[in-house]
């Protein structure tokens, strides 16, 4: 509707709720539209989870664990390395004090987990991306957007129909040919 | 073998005259803070003579106790310092590196002897009082912790002198300002690693104790307890 | 739960962000003025010397470290509570979590300032940081202050991310609603969030991991803060109970801070429909639980000290219970135990007002608790000759007041810039939970309602 | 440089930063060429003499290079010169033996005091206003010379008078000879805590008008009556050194020490037994002890016959001093007296000391004679481990033949009371020109003596002091002296060693200010006056006079020196002259003579019902009689017992305080028949319930930025009672009343008074 949107080559419909969106997605799949081209957007997590491309969710915990491991090694190396490089005697303590180094190791481990998790999230969620996504204002009103990216020109009508069917999209928007990925 | 500097304080000799207190101030450029600051608990005395009073009139007994940095082997002040301003030298001193101190005052809290002093403001020497400043000792600026150093500048000077003559340090060659001033010779400084030093000999006395020894700080200052005197029984016998 | 449509929710919750009332300016100016006063006091302290504060020998730590511990404690409001509630899927958490997380971040930022404010030479504070420097001296990793540095940084990074991640979808919402230059800002902040199921799934996974991780971080942070004391051989500091005792106290004060913040938001931003009695009640019950836990720790600590009868420790114990600090001590007991216990265990008194009153008392009481842990011990160390006293100065009081103002100001600005209630989580929860008419006063009715409308 | 070395050096170094960091940016100064060749960073040690008290300790001055701001030829500039850095005891010196007391350590601040007078001053404002204008030395000296010429013209020579602090040696002689040659009377000395009573008593008992020296290091039992001999009395450094040896210097032997006094002093705090006694009854207790010993045959009367016989009833075994009677009078239990007596008799050698307050009662002379008698009974006179008298040092200014001068130039001093009366015109001759040298009677004399008024009647007062104090603000002309480090110094200690000692020292550093040594100024004035005065004082400088005096010493007495020139060299090297051989002084003692002395009961000023408390001022550990109150180090020195700094206080027994409703730090009013003052209360268990005590030293109206208007002056309360034998002030004989006034301020260094249970040393 606004100028920015005109640059996208997309056909989408606005559905009132998840159920409508789900049925639209069903229709699109029935049309044999490439699953990777189906786009769903909502302003809240949808109850029905498999509206779009299924993704393996197992990677993130492992990445987090790896981050923790890196953090642990970094923390311990920092602590013990500092102590060994500048071996100063204090309070009759050993030069490398394992007990106290555990604390820094612990903190660095958890910091590693946190940072790895967030990085993993950003990477896998493809954030940040600086070009505008589809942002129909009705999404923020609670509507669900279902669309097809770069729809084959010949099937535009089918897709529009599919969007409307089954109590689906109340409104259809077609945008320009440019890829927005 | 490195030195292990220590001090022996004979409480039976100490008279509470406080010559040590002023001598230390003169030697180590310890600033005066003035009445208002002193009233707020900011007076700096690297060595002080604590006095504890026992009994009520007329059976009053007083104990004088010169207290200064105990140069603990297991010093609680050292590990808590985040910047290594407080650390242990090879010859057993609790060093305080003024340049490294950022003023967390953690060491002062950790010190059970409360012998660490803080510069709450920049010290002031009204001219020409500054001419008296000892050039061998740095002047500390605001925000820096300071304390007794066992007159490390005198130790270093004696070591340099001995090295120049290519000989080991002799016992009694290093005398901190407090011990040098002490009229009754209550303070004896020396190398505890040297079994023949006077300090070692006195530290082996049956009267030798540590201050707050139960805390396990392993101080290098020994206190020789007072002998004799009257016990309570004796005092009651007089009445 | 709110009985409102998604549109209404968005309107209600975005209104404070998009419309600016005179109240916002009034609050910002007033709080800002106090913050400026605090900064001026700090500047004065830097130029004149730390001596303008009331600290002395032997009380080398005073208001600043009290504030440090207090604010780090308050920071546990947040992330810890929000993480626990998330992990336990407590349904009533949704309007609460963002405020709680914001408290955490701000309280940490303020708390982390105090170790700098209290330094004798704050311009050299960067020496705490392990960086390769010309002088080739690194921090002493044995020092609890360096542990603090690591723990607080971890917590600050973690809780900031924990606050920001679920904010992204709401920023996307704002991006759509805002006008003018703000739109551009929000657009940048939203990072191009689209709201695809894929992103939602990732966000939820990340939040789940974060919630799991942030709990041990929070626990360790306040444990390490307690180690600042427990590592020093100071009577009544050198205690094994300090770790859990401090963590319990931190959660305690954190909940209280959250309740107070929610009450203020509820009134100021007219969020009565979202922050309901249910929330205050639930948090109030948590507060009551923590009050009892805290009391248990205080009792355990003081009983063992008294029974042990170690002279140096008993000197501190009695200085607090019947000496110069007795007034503060019994005020603390009243604020942290008696009053919350009465207000929160009697159902009739457990109203929103009642909960808020109890929470305010707890905040006062917990500040006193921090003070009473730190100062009396220092006034009575081992050698009675060096016993001392402590009187705060105007500089310390100003800076302390300024940090409370800073907390308020940050909160005002935050709630101005971002929706203080997580809109998407609320909507999500609303759809999953039964609709409850606003204005309900009884939890049991909520429960009954829930059964009636599965 | 690795980290460890870095740390090492940074603790030690940093001198340049030290000196530059404390200055403020100022206009650039002219840099004068250095006077001396100094090796940077290398210290030289020069002997000097401590001016702090009468002990006359020899000190060593650590001198290093420094940049001093000075005025040269009227130009302000900087010169690199040797400046004193620290004082240590002179190890060669028989009195200090390498040690120094706190006041001696702080004496260096006398030189560097920021309020030191740096040039001659002439009064412009009213007397006491402290308004002066600077003057150059020529003008200043000629002003004084004209005044003296005017006296000469009017044949009013006798109206010249001098009032000095206690001086000995060549400086005292120069002043005395100047006065004598001019035709005036001998100089007066004012000293609050004077020991003249004891000197006179010793003259009576032993034929020596001198303070005794105690051989504590060999004593096994020491009983002291009020003498703060480890703190402020007589020769504290020498006495403390001997005390340390008495306690722990002999394997297997530890001397016992008993202190008798109503208020616990620093010395009393060290006692094994502290015996509080009613003020003024110390002599009775001493004789009570003697009685028991004689009665039980623990000592023979003959051993002390000569000295003891002075006491009325001696031959009869002192029947009036039976323990019960003594108990009634002194408040010390009879059983305790008996016990002390048997201990004294058993642990020989034993010695008794008297000093301080017991001498400052109206019966001070009796107390002193009584303790002398006790020493005689203990057979401690002239014996190892007992008391003795230091051989007198025999250096005096050589006689100069002149028409008026007779043999004795060392005329005895004129009593202060006579000078007072002369100033006030009560007796003739009046005083028209008064030379004032560091004596501060306006501060340290009772109000009833009306010093202020007396000074106001003197037409012309010249002060030689280095500071504006309560008295010197009355001066019309101020000719400031060098500090002791900038000047030649000499002193002749009268106690503290068993050798004859003269302390002499050359200047340790060049003068910082435009000052002149008073002795030099006197010689210059004598030159300008001409006539018999210049004939009597033919020396060009103090140094000349000193050399003449020292070279008159019998060279044979010094082991190393063969000629008088050698003596002068030796004296400069070691900081004085002292005999090498130990002299037995007992043989020189004359037999006691004179009428027998009856028991004297002390008289007190003030009615007991109206003024229920004995008032006991005492020399403070930091300031003595107040003459060191201007030193900031001394102000910030915590008094060892009270731990008070920068102020004054009133010591009150806890029971008394409770009765009066006074708690620690409360402001109390102390009032005597002479006046009143307010000071904070210090509740102390070490003081008798009917005694209140105050340290002397604070309460200066004018005495530099550090001491002016600080605290209260207890001397202001003192009644003008004197000890009749010596005429010295009986400063312990005033009664006072005490009342609470409100909250006061007491700056204490210490928090707690009591050890925690179990003690602190283990």
Q: What angle do CA A47, A50, A54 make, to 5 degrees?
A: 140
Nearest-CA distance A109 → chain B (Å): 21
Helix (H, G, I), strand (E, B) or coil at D470: coil
Q: In chain B, positions 199-238, which contact chain D (CB-CB < 8 Å)?
A: 209-214, 223-225, 227-230, 237-238
Q: Is D751–C384 a contact, with Cβ atoms under 8 angstroms apart?
A: yes
Would you state the structure tokens that stand for residue C253, as one six-digit string? 């004060």
Say what the pLDDT of residue D396 is: 76
Q: pLDDT tens digit string along A38-84?
A: 888 888 887 665 555 555 557 899 999 999 999 999 999 999 988 88
Taking the C-alpha atoms of residue C247 and residue C263, their distance in angstroms, rounded to an integer, is: 24
Instruction: Identify the burial level of D168 via C-beta atoms within 10 angstroms of its C-beta, where 0-12 means exposed, 13-18 middle and 19 or more buried.
Output: middle
C325 domain residue, yes or no = no
Q: What is the pLDDT of residue C183?
A: 87
Domains of chain A: residue spans and CATH: 3-55+131-174 (3.30.70.260), 59-124 (no CATH)
Closest Cα in chain B, distance from residue D257 (Å): 9
Show which of residues 6-35 on chain B sit within 8 Å of chain D, judged by CB atoms: 10-13, 15-19, 21-23, 25-27, 29, 32-35
Residue D350 burial (10 A CB sphere; 0-12, 13-18, 19+): buried
Answer yes or no: is pLDDT of D16 > 50.
no
Does the structural domain D213-388 have CATH classification 1.10.357.10?
no
Domain assignment of residue C380, yes or no = no
Q: How far apart are CA B41 and CA B35, in angstroms?
A: 10
Q: How close B217 gets to chain A, by Cα (Å)?
A: 8
Q: Which residue has the higher pLDDT, C229 or D410?
A: C229
Give the B:D interface size as CB pairs under 8 Å: 297
Could B84 and A88 be called an inter-chain contact, meaning their C-beta atoms sit closer than 8 Å? Answer: yes
In DSSP notation, C26-51 reads HHHHHHHHHHHHHHHHHHHHHHH-GG
Which of B48, B67, B143 is closest, CB to CB, to C50?
B143
pLDDT band for position D7 (cuts 50, 70, 90)? very low
- D10 vs D554: which has the higher pLDDT: D554
Helix segments in D236-382, DSSP class H: 236-248, 282-295, 305-308, 323-330, 334-346, 364-377
Closest approach of chain D CAs to the CA of B34, in angstroms?
7
Q: Mutation target for A interface from C158, C195, C217, C422: give the one with most A CBs within 10 A.
A: C195
CB–CB contact A107 C150 (8 Å): yes
Is some CB atom of chain B closer than 8 A to the CB atom of A53? no
Q: Which residues of D touch B58 (CB under 8 A)?
A: 274-276, 688
Residues of A in contact with D4 (CB under 8 A): 88
* Rounded Cα distance, D711 and D680, in Å: 9
Tell me which chains share at least 3 CB pairs under 8 Å with chain B.
A, C, D
Please report the pLDDT score of residue D369 as a whole number.
94
Ranges under pLDDT 70 in chain C:
1-3, 135-137, 431-454
> pLDDT band for position D28 (50/70/90)?
low
Task: Name the residue among B235, B228, B234, B176 with its Cα closest to residue B13.
Answer: B228
User: Which pLDDT does position D12 carry in this prediction?
Assistant: 39
Residue C111 located in a structural domain? yes
Longest dimension (CA), chain D: 85
Task: Count up the domains in chain C and report the number.
Answer: 1
Bond preceding residue B124 cis, omega within 30 of 0: no
Catalogue the long-range contacts made by D239-243 (C-beta closer than 8 Å, 24 or more residues apart): D239/D214, D239/D496, D240/B15, D240/B17, D240/B183, D240/B184, D240/D99, D240/D101, D241/B183, D241/B184, D241/B185, D241/D97, D241/D99, D241/D217, D242/D214, D242/D215, D242/D216, D242/D217, D243/B13, D243/B15, D243/B184, D243/D216, D243/D270
Backbone angles phi, psi at D222, to 5 degrees: -125, 125
pLDDT at C268: 87
Instruction: Going residue by residue through chain B, which has 239 residues, state the pLDDT in tens, using 9 for 90 and above.
Output: 789 999 999 999 999 999 999 999 999 999 999 999 999 999 999 999 999 999 999 999 999 999 999 999 999 999 999 999 999 999 999 999 999 999 999 999 999 999 999 999 999 999 899 999 999 999 999 999 999 999 999 999 999 999 999 999 999 999 999 999 999 999 999 999 999 999 999 999 999 999 999 999 999 999 999 987 554 434 444 44
Residue A99 near chain B (CB below 8 Å): no
Measured in whole angstroms, the distance separating CA C28 from the mean position of its chain's CA atoms is 20
- Class of D613-743 in CATH: mainly beta
Shortest distance, CA B152 to any CA of chain C (angstroms)? 22
- Does residue C357 fall inside a structural domain? no
**pLDDT, mean over chain A:** 80
Q: Judge contact between C235 and C377, C-beta under 8 A.
A: yes
**Rounded Cα distance, C346 and C285, in Å:** 11
Provide the percentage of residues in chain D whose pLDDT is more than 70: 90
| Alpha carbon of A61: minimum distance to chain C alpha carbons (Å) | 7
Where is A145: in which H helix or E strand? strand A144-149
Which of B36, B41, B47, B218 has the highest number of chain C CBs within 10 A, making it the mutation to test binding with C?
B41
pLDDT at D408: 47
A chain contacts of residue C176, beta-carbon cutoff 8 Å: 135, 137, 139-140
Q: Which residues of C362-376 are buried (b: 16+ CB within 10 A; e: fewer)?
A: bbbbbbbbbbbbbbb
Is some CB atom of chain A closer than 8 A to the CB atom of B86?
Answer: yes
Half-sphere exposure of A5 (CA within 13 A, CB side): 13
- Domain spans, chain B: 5-227
Q: Is B70 helix (H, G, I), strand (E, B) or coil?
A: coil
- Tell me yes or no: is domain B5-227 CATH 1.10.287.3610: no
CA atoms within 13 A on the CB side of D714: 31
Structural domain boundaries enclosing C49: 6-282+394-448
Does the CB of C388 have a partner CB in chain D at under 8 Å?
A: yes
| Of A92, A93, A100, Cβ closest to residue B218 | A92
A85 touches chain B (CB under 8 A): no
| Residue D96 pLDDT exceeds 80 | yes
In CATH, the number for domain D26-112 is 2.20.25.90
Residue at C128 is within a domain: yes
Mind listing the pLDDT tens digit for each residue in A14-45?
888 778 888 888 888 888 887 778 888 888 88
Q: Is the pLDDT of residue D480 over 80?
A: yes
Q: Which residue has the higher pLDDT, D412 or C169?
A: C169
Q: Which chains are within 8 Å of C by 3+ CB pairs? A: A, B, D
Taking the Cβ of residue B5 and every Cβ of chain C, the question of whether any pair is shorter than 8 Å is answered with no
Of C147, C202, C209, the CB nearest to A103: C147
Contact (CB, 8 A) for B122 and B141: yes
C228 contact residues in B (CB cutoff 8 A): 106
The helix, strand and coil proportions of chain D, stated in percent and rounded to the nearest 5, come to 30, 20, 50
Query: Which residue reads 């004391």 in tokens?
Result: C229
Nearest Cα of chain D lies from the Cα of A126 at a distance, in angstroms, of 48
Which of B19, B27, B58 minimises the CB distance to D86? Answer: B27
> Is the bond preceding residue A128 a cis peptide, omega within 30 degrees?
yes
Please judge whether D248 and B13 are an interchain contact, meaning their C-beta atoms are less than 8 angstroms apart: yes
Write the ipTM.
0.91
pLDDT in tens, D262-272: 999 999 999 99
Query: Is C213 within 8 Å of A114 when comparing Cβ atoms?
Result: yes
């Amino acid at each position: 509707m606004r100028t920015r949107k005109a640059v996208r080559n997309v056909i989408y419909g606005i559905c009132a709720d998840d159920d409508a969106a789900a049925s639209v997605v069903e229709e699109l799949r029935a049309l044999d539209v490439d699953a990777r081209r189906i786009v769903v957007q909502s302003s809240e997590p949808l109850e029905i989870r498999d509206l779009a491309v299924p993704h393996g969710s197992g990677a993130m915990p492992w990445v987090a664990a790896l981050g923790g491991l890196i953090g642990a090694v970094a923390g311990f190396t920092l602590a013990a390395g500092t102590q060994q490089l500048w071996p100063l005697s204090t309070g009759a303590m050993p030069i490398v004090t394992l007990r106290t180094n555990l604390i820094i190791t612990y903190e660095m481990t958890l910091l590693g987990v946190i940072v790895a998790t967030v990085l993993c999230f950003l990477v896998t969620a493809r954030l940040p991306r600086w070009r505008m996504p589809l942002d129909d204002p009705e999404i923020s009103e609670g509507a669900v957007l279902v669309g097809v990216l770069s729809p084959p020109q010949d099937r535009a009508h089918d897709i529009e129909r599919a969007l409307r069917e089954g109590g689906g999209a109340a409104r259809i928007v077609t945008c320009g040919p440019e890829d927005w990925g | 073998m490195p030195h292990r500097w220590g001090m022996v304080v004979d409480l039976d000799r100490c008279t509470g005259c406080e010559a040590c207190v002023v001598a230390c101030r003169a030697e180590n450029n310890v600033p005066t803070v003035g009445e208002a600051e002193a009233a707020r608990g900011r007076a700096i005395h690297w060595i002080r003579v604590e006095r504890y009073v026992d009994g009520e009139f007329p059976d009053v007994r007083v104990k004088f106790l010169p207290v200064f940095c105990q140069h603990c082997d297991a010093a609680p002040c050292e590990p808590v310092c985040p910047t290594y301003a407080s650390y242990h030298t090879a010859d057993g001193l609790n060093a305080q590196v003024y340049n490294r101190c950022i003023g967390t005052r953690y060491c002062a809290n950790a010190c059970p002897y409360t012998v660490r002093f803080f510069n709450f403001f920049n010290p002031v020497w009204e001219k020409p009082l500054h001419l008296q400043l000892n050039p061998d000792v740095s002047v500390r600026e605001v925000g820096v912790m300071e304390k007794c150093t066992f007159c490390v500048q005198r130790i270093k000077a004696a070591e340099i002198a001995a090295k120049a003559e290519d000989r080991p340090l002799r016992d009694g060659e290093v005398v901190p300002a407090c011990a040098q001033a002490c009229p009754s010779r209550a303070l004896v400084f020396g190398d505890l690693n040297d079994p023949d030093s006077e300090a070692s000999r006195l530290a082996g006395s049956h009267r030798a104790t540590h201050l707050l020894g139960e805390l396990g700080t392993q101080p290098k200052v020994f206190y020789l307890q007072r002998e004799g005197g009257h016990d309570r029984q004796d005092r009651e016998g007089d009445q | 739960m709110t009985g409102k449509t998604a549109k209404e929710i968005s309107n209600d919750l975005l209104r404070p962000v998009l419309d600016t009332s005179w109240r916002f300016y009034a609050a910002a100016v007033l709080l800002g003025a106090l913050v400026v006063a605090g900064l001026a006091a700090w500047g004065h302290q830097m130029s004149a010397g730390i001596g303008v504060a009331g600290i002395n020998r032997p009380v080398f730590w005073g208001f600043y470290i009290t504030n440090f511990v207090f604010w780090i404690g308050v920071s546990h409001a947040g992330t810890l509570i929000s993480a626990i509630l998330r992990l336990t899927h407590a349904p009533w958490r949704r309007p609460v979590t963002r405020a709680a997380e914001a408290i955490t971040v701000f309280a940490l930022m303020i708390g982390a300032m105090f170790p700098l404010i209290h330094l004798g030479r704050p311009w050299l504070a960067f020496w705490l940081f392990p960086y390769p420097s010309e002088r080739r001296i690194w921090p002493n990793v044995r020092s609890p202050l360096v542990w603090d540095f690591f723990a607080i940084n971890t917590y600050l990074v973690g809780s900031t991310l924990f606050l920001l991640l679920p904010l992204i979808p709401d920023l996307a919402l704002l991006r759509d609603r805002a006008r003018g230059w703000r739109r551009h800002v929000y657009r940048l902040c939203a990072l191009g969030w689209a709201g695809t199921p894929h992103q939602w799934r990732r966000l939820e996974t990340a939040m789940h991991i974060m919630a799991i991780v942030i709990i041990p971080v929070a626990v360790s942070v306040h444990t390490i803060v307690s180690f600042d004391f427990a590592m020093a051989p100071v009577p009544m500091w050198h205690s094994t109970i300090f770790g859990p005792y401090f963590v319990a106290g931190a959660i305690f004060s954190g909940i209280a801070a959250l309740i107070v913040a929610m009450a203020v938001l509820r009134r100021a931003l007219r969020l009565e429909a979202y922050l309901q009695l249910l929330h205050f009640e639930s948090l109030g019950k948590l507060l009551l639980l923590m009050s009892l836990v805290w009391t248990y720790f205080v009792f355990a600590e003081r009983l063992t000290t008294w029974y042990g009868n170690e002279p140096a420790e008993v000197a501190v114990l009695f200085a607090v219970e019947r000496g110069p600090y007795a007034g503060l001590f019994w005020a603390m007991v009243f604020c942290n135990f008696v009053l919350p216990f009465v207000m929160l265990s009697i159902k009739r008194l457990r109203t929103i007002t009642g909960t808020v009153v109890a929470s305010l008392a707890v905040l006062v009481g917990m500040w006193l608790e921090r003070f009473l842990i730190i100062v009396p011990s220092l006034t009575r160390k081992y050698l009675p000759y060096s016993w001392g006293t402590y009187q705060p100065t105007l500089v310390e009081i100003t800076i302390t007041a300024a940090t409370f103002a800073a907390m308020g100001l940050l909160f005002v600005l935050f709630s101005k810039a971002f929706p203080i209630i997580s809109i998407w989580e609320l909507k999500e929860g609303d759809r999953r939970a039964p609709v409850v008419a606003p204005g309900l006063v009884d939890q049991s009715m909520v429960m009954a309602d829930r059964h009636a409308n599965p | 440089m690795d980290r460890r070395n870095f740390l090492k050096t940074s603790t030690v170094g940093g001198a340049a930063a030290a000196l530059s960091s404390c200055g403020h940016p100022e206009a650039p100064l002219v840099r004068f060429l250095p006077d001396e060749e100094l090796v940077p960073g290398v210290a030289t040690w020069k002997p000097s003499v401590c001016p702090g008290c009468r002990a006359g300790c020899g000190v060593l001055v650590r001198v290093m290079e420094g940049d001093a701001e000075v005025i040269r030829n009227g130009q302000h500039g900087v010169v690199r010169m040797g400046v004193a850095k620290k004082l240590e005891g002179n190890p060669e010196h028989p009195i200090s033996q390498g040690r120094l007391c706190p006041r001696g350590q702080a004496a260096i601040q006398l030189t560097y005091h920021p309020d030191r007078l740096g040039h001659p001053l002439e009064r412009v404002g009213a007397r006491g206003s402290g308004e002066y204008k600077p003057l150059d030395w020529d003008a200043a000296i000629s002003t004084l010379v004209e005044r003296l010429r005017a006296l000469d013209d009017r044949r009013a020579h006798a109206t010249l008078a001098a009032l000095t602090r206690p001086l000995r040696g060549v400086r005292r002689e120069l002043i005395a000879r100047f006065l004598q040659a001019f035709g005036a009377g001998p100089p007066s000395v004012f000293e609050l805590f004077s020991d003249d009573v004891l000197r006179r008593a010793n003259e009576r008992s032993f034929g020596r008008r001198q303070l005794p020296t105690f051989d504590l290091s060999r004593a096994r039992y020491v009983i002291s009556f009020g003498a703060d001999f480890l703190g402020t009395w007589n020769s504290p450094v020498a006495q403390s050194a001997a005390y340390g040896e008495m306690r722990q210097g002999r394997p297997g032997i530890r001397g016992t020490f008993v202190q008798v006094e109503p208020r616990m002093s620093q010395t009393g705090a060290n006692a094994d037994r502290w015996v509080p006694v009613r003020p003024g009854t110390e002599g009775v207790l001493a004789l009570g002890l003697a009685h028991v010993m004689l009665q039980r045959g623990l000592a023979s009367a003959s051993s002390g016959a000569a000295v003891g016989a002075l006491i009325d009833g001696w031959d009869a075994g002192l029947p009036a001093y039976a323990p019960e009677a003594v108990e009634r009078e002194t408040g010390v239990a009879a059983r305790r007296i008996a016990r002390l007596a048997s201990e004294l008799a058993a642990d020989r050698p034993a010695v008794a000391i008297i000093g301080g307050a017991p001498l400052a009662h109206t019966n001070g002379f009796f107390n002193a004679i009584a303790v002398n008698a006790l020493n005689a009974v203990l057979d401690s006179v002239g014996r190892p481990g007992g008391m003795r008298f230091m051989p007198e040092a025999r250096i005096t200014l050589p006689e100069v033949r002149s028409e008026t001068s007779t043999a004795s130039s060392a005329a005895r001093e004129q009593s202060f009371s006579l000078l007072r009366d002369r100033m006030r015109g009560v007796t003739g001759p009046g005083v028209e020109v008064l030379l004032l040298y560091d004596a501060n009677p306006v501060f340290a004399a009772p109000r009833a003596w009306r010093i202020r008024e007396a000074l106001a009647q003197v037409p012309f007062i010249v002060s030689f002091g280095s500071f504006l104090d309560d008295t010197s603000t009355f001066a019309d002309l101020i000719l400031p002296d060098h500090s002791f480090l900038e000047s030649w110094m000499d002193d002749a200690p009268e106690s503290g060693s068993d050798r004859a000692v003269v302390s002499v020292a050359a200047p340790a550093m060049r003068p910082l200010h435009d000052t002149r040594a008073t002795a030099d100024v006197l010689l210059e004035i004598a030159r300008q006056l001409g006539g018999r005065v210049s004939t009597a004082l033919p020396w060009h400088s103090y140094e000349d006079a000193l050399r003449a005096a020292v070279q008159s010493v019998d060279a044979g007495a010094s082991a190393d020196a063969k000629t008088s020139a050698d003596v002068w060299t030796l004296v400069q090297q070691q900081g004085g002259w002292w005999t090498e051989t130990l002299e037995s002084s007992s043989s020189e003692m004359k037999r006691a003579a004179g009428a027998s002395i009856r028991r004297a009961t002390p008289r007190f000023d003030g009615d007991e019902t109206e003024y229920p408390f004995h008032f006991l001022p005492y020399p403070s550990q930091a300031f003595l009689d107040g003459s060191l109150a201007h030193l900031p180090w001394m102000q910030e020195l915590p008094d060892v017992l009270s731990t008070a700094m920068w102020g004054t206080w009133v010591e009150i027994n806890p029971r008394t305080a409770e009765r009066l409703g006074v708690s620690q730090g409360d402001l109390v009013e102390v009032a005597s028949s002479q006046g009143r003052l307010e000071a904070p209360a210090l509740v102390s268990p070490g003081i008798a319930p009917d005694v209140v005590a105050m340290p002397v030293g604070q309460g200066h109206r004018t005495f530099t930025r550090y001491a002016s208007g600080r605290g209260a002056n207890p001397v202001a309360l003192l009644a003008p009672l004197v000890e009749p034998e010596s005429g010295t002030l009986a400063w312990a004989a005033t009664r006072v009343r005490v009342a609470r006034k409100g909250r006061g301020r007491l700056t204490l260094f210490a928090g707690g008074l009591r050890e925690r249970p179990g003690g602190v040393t283990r």
